[in-house]
Structure 1
Amino acid sequence: MKFTMTLPEQTTKMTVKDLLEQEWLVPRKVRHFIRTRKGILINGENCHFQTFVQSGDVITLMLEASDYPERNILLGDEKMIHVLYEDEHIIIVNKPYGMKTHPNQPDEKDTLVNHLAAYLAPDFQPHVVHRLDKETSGAILFAKNPFVLPILGRLLEQKKIYRRYQAVVHGTLKKDLTINQKIGRDRHDRRKRRIDPKGGKPAITHITVAKQTGKQTSVYCQLDTGRTHQIRVHLASIGHPLVGDPLYSRNPSGRLMLHAYELHLHHPFTNQEISVQALPGLWK
Structure 2
Amino acid sequence: MKFTMTLPDHFAEMTVKDLLEEEWLVPRKVRHFIRTRKGLLINGEPCHFQSFVHAGDVITISIEASDYPERTILLGDKKQIEVLYEDEHLIIVNKPYGMKTHPNQPDEADTLLNHLAAYLAPAVQPHVVHRLDKETSGAILFAKNPFVLPILGRLLEQKKIYRRYQAVVHGAIKKDLTINKKIGRDRHDRRKRRIDPKGGKPAITHVTVAKQSPNQTMVFCQLDTGRTHQIRVHLASIGHPLIGDPLYSRNPHGRLMLHAYELHLRHPFTDQEIAVQALPGLW
Q: TM-score range by the shorter chain?
A: over 0.9
For residues 16 and 53 of structure 1, the distance between their equivalents in structure 2, rounded to whole angstroms, comes to: 6
For 1:59, the equivalent position in structure 2 comes to: 59
Query: Is 2:158 aligned against 1:164?
Result: no
One-letter amino acid of the structure 2 residue matched with residue 90 of structure 1: L
For 2:83, the equivalent position in structure 1 comes to: 83
SS at 1:228 equivalent? coil
For residues 125 and 162 of structure 1, the distance between their equivalents in structure 2, rounded to whole angstroms, comes to: 25
1:190-205 aligned within 5 A:
190-205=190-205
For 1:46, the equivalent position in structure 2 comes to: 46
One-letter amino acid of the structure 1 residue matched with residue 104 of structure 2: N
The size of the alignment, in residue pairs, is 283
For 2:114, the equivalent position in structure 1 comes to: 114
Listed one character per residue, the Cα deviations across residues 14-66 of structure 1 (whole Å, up to 9, x for unaligned) are 00000000000000000000000100000000000000001000000001111
SS at 2:33 equivalent? helix
Listed one character per residue, the Cα deviations across residues 101-133 of structure 1 (whole Å, up to 9, x for unaligned) are 000000000000000000000111110000000
One-letter amino acid of the structure 1 residue matched with residue 196 of structure 2: D
- Kindly state the Cα deviation for residue 214 of structure 1 after the two structures are TM-superposed: 4.2
One-letter amino acid of the structure 1 residue matched with residue 159 of structure 2: K
For residues 213 and 261 of structure 2, the distance between their equivalents in structure 1, rounded to whole angstroms, comes to: 20
Listed one character per residue, the Cα deviations across residues 59-78 of structure 1 (whole Å, up to 9, x for unaligned) are 00001111112210000000
For 2:181, the equivalent position in structure 1 comes to: 181
Range that drifts further, 269-278 or 63-72:
63-72
One-letter amino acid of the structure 2 residue matched with residue 212 of structure 1: Q
- Kindly state the Cα deviation for residue 197 of structure 1 after the two structures are TM-superposed: 0.1
1:99-110 aligned within 5 A:
99-110=99-110
- Kindly state the Cα deviation for residue 231 of structure 1 after the two structures are TM-superposed: 0.1
For 1:209, the equivalent position in structure 2 comes to: 209
For residues 193 and 39 of structure 2, the distance between their equivalents in structure 1, rounded to whole angstroms, comes to: 46
TM-score by length of 1: 0.99
For residues 113 and 213 of structure 1, the distance between their equivalents in structure 2, rounded to whole angstroms, comes to: 38
Structure 2 gaps of 5+ residues are none
For 1:123, the equivalent position in structure 2 comes to: 123
One-letter amino acid of the structure 2 residue matched with residue 70 of structure 1: E
SS at 1:103 equivalent? coil
SS at 1:166 equivalent? strand
SS at 1:178 equivalent? strand
For 1:94, the equivalent position in structure 2 comes to: 94
1:223-262 aligned within 5 A:
223-262=223-262
For residues 129 and 135 of structure 2, the distance between their equivalents in structure 1, rounded to whole angstroms, comes to: 18
SS at 1:30 equivalent? helix
For residues 69 and 120 of structure 1, the distance between their equivalents in structure 2, rounded to whole angstroms, comes to: 17
TM-score by length of 2: 0.99
SS at 1:150 equivalent? helix
For residues 264 and 116 of structure 1, the distance between their equivalents in structure 2, rounded to whole angstroms, comes to: 20
For residues 77 and 89 of structure 1, the distance between their equivalents in structure 2, rounded to whole angstroms, comes to: 22
Range that drifts further, 205-214 or 227-236:
205-214
Identity across matched positions, percent: 87
SS at 1:79 equivalent? helix
- Kindly state the Cα deviation for residue 213 of structure 1 after the two structures are TM-superposed: 3.2
Structure 1 gaps of 5+ residues are none
For residues 162 and 282 of structure 1, the distance between their equivalents in structure 2, rounded to whole angstroms, comes to: 19
